[in-house]
Amino acid sequence: MKPNANQEKNHQNPQDLKVSQKDDSVTLSKQEYDELSKAAGQKDEYWDKLLRQQAEFDNIRKRQEKERNEFIKYANENLIVQLLEVLDNLERLVSMAEEHKQDFESFLKGVEIILAHLYELLKKYGVKPIETKDKMFDPLYHEALMTVESDSAKENKIIEELQKGYILDNRVIRTSKVKVAKKKTEETKEEKI
């Protein structure tokens, strides 16, 4: 299919335009001039829209960052309020213990009640202690602070928990500090004989 004369005229190559060598001017048809004017007007309109959208995206990003920072800042507010209740109970207990210095049993009972309350609070927020009793050493959950030679315990068995470790929703937030058994060496066995 052959293009008609108007299509050929509209799709001229830039080299086909008449350019005067004297003053670098270009001769255009009225239609070509109108199309260029329209395109120039659209360019300004598109540029303005682009600038507005960039400003809008920048404002959205800043607002989201501010909201995120606010969320992080106050995310634990509920937990902290509940921990303040535990702190209040401890302060009351200390105050009562100072008044009744002879009543150690009541003091101990009060501490146990507060500890139970604190453990329940942690459990409510998905925090649970790492089990160490009768467990083998696992570097993902335990940190060996000491090793002790032993004939009775298996190699790498946890003998004693020195500090509790905790998991928050299947993520270790603090490893358990433990004492681990190791087999006696021949030198140690010979020293005892």
pLDDT digits (tens, 9 = 90+) for 66-78: 999 888 888 888 8
Task: Identify whether residues 152 and 106 lie together within a single domain.
Answer: no
**Burial level of 3, CB count in 10 A (0-12/13-18/19+)?**
exposed
In a domain, 96, yes or no: yes
pLDDT of residue 184: 78
What is the domain extent for residue 153?
129-185
pLDDT of residue 51: 95
pLDDT digits (tens, 9 = 90+) for 30-68: 998 888 888 888 888 899 999 999 999 999 999 999 999
Q: Which of 139, 148, 174, 142 is nearest to 161 (CA)?
A: 142
Task: Identify whether residues 133 and 108 lie together within a single domain.
Answer: no
pLDDT digits (tens, 9 = 90+) for 106-135: 888 888 999 999 999 889 889 999 999 989
Task: Identify whether residues 111 and 134 lie together within a single domain.
Answer: no
> Considering just the CA atoms, what is the radius of gyration of the chain in Å?
40
The pTM of this model reads 0.57
Q: What amino acid is encoded at 133 in this protein? A: K
